[in-house]
A and B are shown apart, each in its own frame.
Chain A
Amino acid sequence: MLSFIGRRLLVAIPTIVLISVLVFFLQKLLPGDPVLALAGEDRNPEILEFLREKYRLNDPLYVQYFNWIGNALTGDLGVSLRTQQPVLTLLAEKLPVTFQLAIMALVIAVVIGVPAGIISAYHKGTWIDWLANVVALSGLSVPNFWLGIMMILLVSVKLGWLPASGYQPFTDDPLQSIRTMLMPAFVLGTGLAATLMRHTRSAMLGVLQSDYVRTARAKGLSEKRVVMKHALRNALVPVVTVITLLFGELLAGAVLTEQIFTIPGFGKLVVDAVFNRDYAVVQGIVLCTAIAFVLMNILSDALYRVLNPRMSDQ
């Protein structure tokens, strides 16, 4: 297993290099000049030229790229053109926020989606299945921003159960931190739960018809054991892949949800950076997310091998 992960990490290096190239050059193709954004109203050519020199924007593109990637390898992703803060510091500030939101949303999604998928597959064609599908479809169709606003109105304004917005670092006050994050996590999680439910349901449907499930029944095992041990174990293989990919997506930040609940995560950071042509920050975030995605993919494959013993021999 370790050698498998090691191999996969090696293979991931060219992928990440390619992503860094794309991120860097695609952004250069975008209209807009960061120096103009930085200088604001003051269009004095000397100042503009000074800024270009300072940020070495006059160098050829490939030199700029190698400067950037070379620094990135030493942990220096540059400084934000706007706030002058190091990008790495910005990322380090936002990452725990987004990470916490992603974990909580994922837990909610799994806790709702996987059991719902199992139950609806087991009761295929009955009103239970029908109900689960209707709920899942609603979960997929209801936009997050609408659900978020409705929840704030109901849970915070009317009932006063949870704070409407804000962020409390987990390390300062874990309970309060979870309370403030609960609603946004729920909004994100329910949408993903619907996806997970559909995947779990279809995987379970296939597995429940398999010969080995019939064998398990022929052994006299209870239905609960047949489903939870013999069927679920096999059905989980594709579902785990989906879960890890969803987690990768969550790490990229949930722009709208973060805006509604004013959570200072990746989503908000990236939107602000794009609007301000804050290249260094955008590049840093995209690179960071891409690496997270690649890592999630490797984790997904590793779990796949754990769950599917046929894979681990190869």
Chain B
Amino acid sequence: MSAPLLDVKGLSVRIAGTSRDLVADVSFTLHPGETLCVVGESGCGKSLTALSLMGLLASPPLSVTGGEALFDGRDLLQMPLDQLQALRGDRMAMIFQEPMTSLNPALRVGDQIAESVQRHQGVSAKAARARALEMLRRVGIPAPESRLDAYPHNLSGGMRQRVMIAMALANDPALLLADEPTTALDVTIQAQILALMRDLQAQSGSAMILITHDLGVVAEMADKVAVMYAGRIVEFGTVAQIFEDPQHPYTIGLMSSMPTLGQRVARLVTIPGVVPQASQMPPGCRFASRCPFANASCAKTPDMTEVATGHRVACWQVPLEAGIDQRVSA
């Protein structure tokens, strides 16, 4: 396979005044055109991972404490701000969770898109506006000519997220980071937005990191999946490997907590317990307190081991013997 577009090794993020990492030792690679879904519960460090790559961590108090992230061979984490600014919005772009608050309420949406085009392509205001119009049309906004001069509050949530997508894709980025782009939207709109993102990605050939807690979205969009728990990647593999042969007890728990169509169950399966607080992160395996298989060896942080080509798991108990599904769901 070709050289990776993005190669993240050992990324760690810490909040000032604590000694435990909110994102710990996160590593993955992403090739051009691929979609990586990062999945996990709220607060597991998915968004922080994406924000660190963009250099957008709220710093202070958050800061990257280790690792590297090679993008086109250059380390994003060490890059001076001016070089990073030249990449943001151009080679790499980000879509945020909240379309309601992520657009500037005081500026017209056309200007907000055109601004990014002008910044990176150095074209005239007129050409940038034409590009903004083209992007609005491509993301399927009806009557795009009249929407150019609309303010965000004139648009519905779904339309605003389309505007965000138009803005992010306006300069044909090689990498698109999407942080729960459909979470704030109605279910019917969610499907439309996902389909739109997939189409546009296919047209432009850009790679995508899609952050979600929705396994349905993962199944639909992903090539590769990274399952995160409490700041660590606990399992990494192709979408087939993760869905058909989950190895980490947490992943198995996630899979069994997904409702299945056509099957009536009295109650959905849950994973007992909650994600530990950043301040109370246990040493060793962070899932141990909720894990039905935990034993003394889990007091040490498990290494990532490869169980199949490209399928890596961080668990001392892997491979688990047969029949575990029942034990997890019990």
Contacts and interface: CB of A to CB of B under 8 A. Distances in A.
A267 B28 CA distance: 72
B176 to A, nearest CB: 11
B237 interface: no
Contacts of A222: 85
Nearest to A312: B151
Contact of B88 (A219, A233, A310): A219
Given A211-B96, A211-B101, A217-B88, A234 B115 contact: no
A307 B104 CA distance: 12
B106 A220 contact: no
Contacts of A217: 56, 88
Of listed A125, A219, A234, A309, residue having the most chain B CB within 10 A: A219
A310 B105 contact: yes
B92 to A, nearest CB: 9
A220 B120 contact: yes
Contact of A212 (B85, B87, B105): B105
Given A221-B119, A307-B106, A212 B101 contact: yes
B116 interface: yes
Nearest to A222: B85
A212 B107 CA distance: 11
B89 interface: yes
A219 B54 CA distance: 10
A67 interface: no
Contact of B96 (A214, A229, A313): A214
Interface residues of B, number: 31
A218 interface: yes
Contact of B107 (A210, A218, A233): A233
A313 B149 CA distance: 14
B218 interface: no
Contacts of A234: 104-106
A309 B105 contact: yes
> What does DSSP make chain A's interface, helix, strand, loop or mixed?
helix
Given A309-B151, A313-B153, A215 B88 contact: no
A210 B101 contact: yes
Given A309-B106, A310-B151, A313-B153, A220 B101 contact: no
Interface in B51-93: 54, 56, 58, 60, 81, 85-90, 93
A198 interface: no
Which of B56, B85, B88: most chain A Cβ within 10 A? B85
Nearest to A209: B58
Interface in A19-48: none
A255 interface: no
| Residue among A212, A221, A223, A310 having the largest count of chain B Cβ atoms under 10 Å | A212
Given A308-B106, A309-B153, A220 B87 contact: yes
A216 interface: yes
A217 B59 CA distance: 13
B42 interface: no
Contacts of A201: none
Most chain B beta-carbon neighbours within 10 Å: one of A209, A307, A309: A309
